[in-house]
Amino acid sequence: MKTILKARNINKTYAQDKNNDIQVLQDVSLQVDRGEFVAIMGPSGSGKTTLLYAISGMDRPTSGLVQLDEKELTTLSEDELAALRLSRMGFIFQQSNLLKNLCILDNIVLPGYKANKESQDVICSRGEELLMQTGISNIAKNSITQASGGQLQRAAICRALINKPDILFGDEPTGALNSSATAEVLDILASINATGTTVVLVTHDAKVAARADRVLFMMDGHIAGEYPQEKYDPEKQDWKAREEVLSVWLSKMGF
Ligand SMILES: Nc1ncnc2c1ncn2[C@@H]1O[C@H](COP(=O)(O)OP(=O)(O)OP(=O)(O)O)[C@@H](O)[C@H]1O
């Protein structure tokens, strides 16, 4: 399978105070194939979010290389990087971060209007289609204050997909949801992945990682282990059984 994302020897150092630096990523290398679903797990403070930000161009590593297909992210200007993120990447976070003064549909289409590559009609129809696919068409015109956490997170997924990204990054996207909303959001992510979008998620939750093709386990700023799983098929597979097997590996890793 063709590699979509490649990181080579990434280091990230933060200045802690005047005299001290803290090295959060230590020589991390990884590769993600097009269409793959990768989960990044590990203890709190091990560097998962820092790694996600470094490989998605949301932050710059102190050293090392990050490539999305042929594009070397670390050589791009801020404007070039922002344009690349807008057109080729989607992002979801623990909180939906939707704008309060816009209805759900307007929140979703906004990055499409910003990218300015297609007519507003085309973007609006895609927004409506995404709302339908994620089961929230009925709240398209609602204010975000009238939606549940699970509905808001589905809307955030629609917003992340509006520009048809090649790769979707998530930082604890189900971290604030109850278990039934988590399962619904995970089904949506699995179906997005099944249609070819690459997915890379940071999670503490083995339920989430159970859907991935591969789990990377971070410890003290490096990848300490890697756990490949069979491609998840929502029609055939029971993710609870996968979660149990994965949990055994995670506990061997010291999680
Ligand atoms: N902007 C920053 N400045 C200084 N230190 C930071 C900064 N961001 C993160 N760190 C430190 O880097 C380390 C790794 O943080 P990071 O958020 O990447 O870990 P994590 O594995 O995602 O943790 P968690 O699971 O708790 O979210 C932590 O010690 C954190 O305090």
CATH code for position 91: 3.40.50.300
Q: Which helix (H) or strand (E) holds 229?
A: none
Q: Count how many domains the chain has.
A: 1
Residue 211 lies in a domain: yes
Q: What is the pLDDT of residue 234?
A: 75
Residue 109 lies in a domain: no
**Would you call 67 helix, strand, or coil by DSSP?**
strand
Both tokens of 9, joined, read 């020897």
- Asked whether 14 and 47 are in contact (CB, 8 A), the reply is no
Which residues of the chain fall short of a pLDDT of 50?
none
Distance 25 CA to ligand 1 centre (A): 10
Residue 130 lies in a domain: no
Helix, strand, coil percent content, the chain, rounded in steps of 5: 40, 25, 35
Residue 205 lies in a domain: yes
Q: What is the pLDDT of residue 189?
A: 93
- Residue nearest ligand 1's atom 17 by CA: 49
ipTM of the complex: 0.97
Q: What is the pLDDT of residue 236?
A: 80
Range of the domain at 220: 3-66+76-95+165-252
Residue 134 lies in a domain: no
Residue 50 lies in a domain: yes
Instruction: Give whole-number Cα distances, 14 to 11, 37, 192, in Å.
Output: 10, 29, 35
Ligand 1 lining (C-beta closer than 6 Å): 14, 22, 24, 42, 44-50
Residue 141 lies in a domain: no
DSSP 8-state secondary structure symbol assigned to residue 165: -
Residue 122 lies in a domain: no
Q: What is the pLDDT of residue 165?
A: 96
Q: What is the pLDDT of residue 17?
A: 81
Whether this model's pTM surpasses 0.90 = yes
β-partners of residue 223 are 218
- Residue nearest ligand 1's atom 31 by CA: 45
- Residue nearest ligand 1's atom 24 by CA: 44
Q: What is the pLDDT of residue 163?
A: 96
